[in-house]
Amino acid sequence: MKALAKTTAGPGLELTDVPEPEPGPTEIKLRVLRTGICGTDLHIDSWDAWAEKTVTAPRVLGHEFAGEVVEIGSAVTKVKVGDLVSGEGHLVCGTCRNCRAGRRHLCANTIGIGVHVDGAFAEYAVLPESNAWVHTHPVDPDVAAIFDPFGNAVHTALSFPVLGEDVLVTGAGPIGLMAAAVAKHAGARNVAVTDISPDRLDLARKIGVDLAVDVSETSLPEVYGELGMCEGFDVGMEMSGQPSALREMIANMTHGGRVAMLGLPSEEFAIDWSAVVLKMITLKGIYGREMFETWYAMSVLLQGGLDIAPVITHRYHCTEFAEAFATARGGKCGKVILDWTGTEN
């Protein structure tokens, strides 16, 4: 079958032929329909320092995906052939303290599909039945393919109550935009998004945020009046990983404000800890999705009318992967989707 893989240690990817996987007793096999390109995939493509120490070549990439179940293992009991499935990309050990307590998202031994084991940038993929989310209501395959990053957004956005609150989202990438949309859908009074990319700020306006702020031109205190605020934001969602963004967020939180951090900094940096203490700010790190409460919330939000489709701005056939990766890397986009159907032509 065709698969997009890191065939050797070094920059670049190759659409190549690899053996078609077969499911084990507790696994399912998918005919992959759509995949999403993630920042992690860009790191592996460029073979930066993180990728070099984390990924072993050869490796099939891809951890954002949706597909149709075509085969099930002998011990599979819930998932059926023909189901439309999205995949949870984190594989947990099942035996550590947190796994045994039902807190699988906190597993200390987590490994990643498409990073540590072969992923779903391929015509077919296998995954444990326990990592499959079966869609029981109609959902577009493009949207189903981005349930993994959508889950990051939902996990972040619902970490603290947002009903009636003023919410600040720093970083208008796809996950930040989805988090902003979730917060607005969940009843936030105001949702403000900051970035320095005009394209992504325009996209933020299209998904319905109350204010999209170019922080290279406007400081956050300047928008308080426009939002009817006087003391600062109640809830912050830091999605960019930029030191300046977190510093600005802390400076503009109200006393008792709560901050959920998903953005991953590339290096250590200083923040004003005295402000955190004196303003009694709560900082919470977010990684992945709660399994599977977040997944349930995602499906319910979509059934309740939340529309995240505008976040998907570009679609390519898998044979156009080079152009797709260049688009994702260029930053003038939302989510980029690869279509894996029709590869036999």
Residue 78 has pLDDT above 80, yes or no: yes
Q: Which CATH architecture has domain 2-146+308-339?
A: Alpha-Beta Complex (3.90)
Q: What is the pLDDT of residues 34-56, one digit of tens each?
A: 999 999 999 999 999 999 999 99
CA dist list (Å): 34 to 94, 150, 306, 335: 28, 15, 21, 12
- The two counts, helices (H) then strands (E), for the chain are 11, 18
Q: What is the pLDDT of residues 321-341, one digit of tens each?
A: 999 999 999 989 999 999 999
Structure tokens at 280: 């009694």
> Does 228 show up as a binding residue in the annotation?
no
CA dist list (Å): 325 to 12, 40, 236, 317, 319: 10, 12, 30, 12, 11
pTM recorded for the entire structure: 0.95
From the number of C-beta atoms within 10 Å of its C-beta (0-12, 13-18, 19+), residue 273 rates as exposed
> Does 175 show up as a binding residue in the annotation?
yes
List 7, 16, 26, 43, catalytic entry: 43
- What is the spatial distance between Cα 36 and Cα 63, in angstroms, rounded to a whole number? 8
Residue of 201, 67, 213 lying closest to 126 (CA atoms): 67
Residue 71 has pLDDT above 50, yes or no: yes
> Does 63 show up as a binding residue in the annotation?
yes
SS3 letters across 50-104: HHHHHCCCCEECCCCEEEEEEEECCCCCCCCCCCEEEECCEECCCCCHHHHCCCH
For the chain, the average pLDDT equals 97
CA dist list (Å): 179 to 38, 80, 231, 238, 307: 16, 31, 23, 10, 12
> Does 168 show up as a binding residue in the annotation?
no
CATH class of the domain at 153-285: alpha beta
The HSE-up count of residue 143 (CA atoms within 13 Å, CB side) is 16
Angle (CA) 241 215 268, round 5° = 25
Q: What is the pLDDT of residues 211-226, one digit of tens each?
A: 999 999 999 999 999 9
Q: What is the pLDDT of residues 87-122, one digit of tens each?
A: 999 999 999 999 999 999 999 999 999 999 999 999
> Does 99 show up as a binding residue in the annotation?
yes
> Does 96 show up as a binding residue in the annotation?
yes
> Does 333 show up as a binding residue in the annotation?
no
> Does 230 show up as a binding residue in the annotation?
no
Residue 16 has pLDDT above 60, yes or no: yes
- What is the spatial distance between Cα 224 and Cα 162, in angstroms, rounded to a whole number? 18
Where do the domains of the chain lie? 2-146+308-339, 153-285
The DSSP line for 276-331 is HHHTT-EEEE--S--TTHHHHHHHHHHHTT---GGGEEEEEEGGGHHHHHHHHHH-
Q: What is the pLDDT of residues 265-316, one digit of tens each?
A: 989 999 999 999 999 999 999 999 999 999 999 999 999 999 999 999 999 9
pLDDT at 345: 47
> Does 64 show up as a binding residue in the annotation?
yes
pLDDT at 150: 98
Residue of 185, 223, 87 lying closest to 145 (CA atoms): 87
- Exposed e or buried b per residue across 240-258, where buried means at least 16 C-beta atoms within 10 angstroms of its C-beta: bbbeebbebbbebbbeebb
pLDDT at 344: 62
Q: 317 an active-site residue?
A: no
pLDDT at 331: 87
pLDDT at 30: 98
Torsion of Cα atoms, 179 then 185 then 186 then 190, to 10° = 80
> Does 263 show up as a binding residue in the annotation?
yes
List 40, 110, 194, 254, catalytic entry: 40
Q: 43 an active-site residue?
A: yes
> Does 286 show up as a binding residue in the annotation?
yes
pLDDT at 342: 85
- What is the spatial distance between Cα 164 and Cα 318, in angstroms, rounded to a whole number? 43
Residues forming a β-bridge with 214: 195
Residues 92, 107: contact at Cβ < 8 Å? yes
pLDDT at 250: 98
Section 177-195 average pLDDT:
98
Domains 2-146+308-339 and 153-285 share a fold: no
